[in-house]
Amino acid sequence: MKKAISLFGLLASVMLAGCSAIAGNNANEQIGEQDGDRVVATTVALTEIMDALDIDLVGVPSSYKELPERYADAKEVGNPMIPDMEMLLSLKPTEVFSVTTLKYDLQEMFDDRGIDMTYANLESIDAMHEEILKIGEKYDRMEKAEAIVARFEEKAALIEKAIEGKEKPSVLILMGIPGSYLVATEQSYIGDLVKRAGGVNVITGEDVEFISSNTEYLQQTNPDVILRAAHGMPEQVIQMFDEEFRSNDVWKHFDAVKNGRVYDLEETLFGTTGNLAAAEALDELLKMLHEEK
């Protein structure tokens, strides 16, 4: 029993904890300008990419995560899923970046305000690299963009060599938000990481990133490894997962639980979209999937 569902539709109903208050409307016209460009990034992953590409921003997302120091004077434009439209308009941006996974939820809102959006595809590592190169070309940062991609490709080659000839464990990926969890498929960003780290997702043949499913169905897949990703309010979600695994007897019959192969993924490394922590995330997955110490 499973069905496709949008993680971001659920997240939009749960405001991220710890978000900073939205800044006032007196945006400094000079902050973040380069040759007349006034760029806004509405997610943390995009903000970090812009920093790596040496691109100034006039607007950044409100987040409990620490953003690059160079954007200390940029104005906060709210939660990525519920942006502050008045603030965005006040910044008079030349380009506003969001991600393709949020397009369905945001497009009408932006259209109503006459805001043209650029939706970056960060749904996989390859897609993210294409976007980085595209942005690098547009903003004359190709050397930096190519260097970012090259560094990851070097890491990917090392990972591929490290897992060569090793047995591929079956993996169940649970994506948790406060009060609920979904199952991540091969099409999700974390699903992409698992595949690159030598794991086999137990949920195959899906065209969507996430599905809802019950534990009875999941037990039939009997994964070697269970990965639990916490988003929205990480500490609260981990507690939710712990309670679910304690109170629901079905989990006790999973081999992954019996063998102590249930791992909580650090949110700063394992986001809902591609991000620049991908190389470090692969290192962590290598240890989890292949029991390296």
Q: CATH number of the domain that 61 lies in?
A: 3.40.50.1980
In a domain, 3, yes or no: no
Reported as a single tens digit per residue, the pLDDT across 125-146 is 999 999 999 999 999 999 999 9
DSSP letter at 266 equals P
Enter the DSSP assignment of 5: -
Question: Is 158 a member of any domain?
Answer: no
What pLDDT was estimated at residue 291?
Answer: 78
pLDDT (tens digit per residue) in 56-98: 999 999 998 899 999 999 999 999 989 999 999 999 999 999 9
Answer yes or no: is 9 within a domain.
no
Q: Tell me which H or E stretch contains 184.
A: strand 180-184
pLDDT tier, 179 (very low <50, low <70, confident <90, very high otherwise): confident
Is residue 46 assigned to a domain? yes
Report the mean per-residue pLDDT for the chain.
Answer: 88
The reply to whether 182 falls in a domain is yes
- 88 SS3 class: helix
* Average pLDDT estimate for 208-227: 92
Position 180 confidence tier, pLDDT thresholds 50, 70, 90 = confident
| Total tally of structural domains belonging to the chain | 2
| Nearest Cα to Cα of residue 147 among 137, 133, 166 | 133
pLDDT, greater one: 17 or 173: 173
* pLDDT above 60 (res 27): no
Give the residue among 96, 100, 72 at the shortest CA–CA distance from 85.
Answer: 96
Domain boundary pick from 120, 143, 176:
120
User: With bands split at pLDDT 50, 70 and 90, how would you rate the model's confidence at 10?
Assistant: low
Asked which of 90, 120, 150 is the last residue of a domain, the reply is 120
pLDDT, mean of residues 192-204: 96
| pLDDT higher than threshold 80 for residue 12 | no
Average pLDDT value for residue range 6-15: 49
On whether the CB atoms of residues 8 and 81 are closer than 8 A, the answer is yes
Structure confidence at residue 214 (pLDDT): 85
Identify the pLDDT of residue 233.
81
What element of type H or E holds 270?
Answer: none
Containing structural domain, residue 47: 16-120
Question: Would residue 226 count as lying in a domain?
Answer: yes
278: in domain: yes
34 in a structural domain: yes
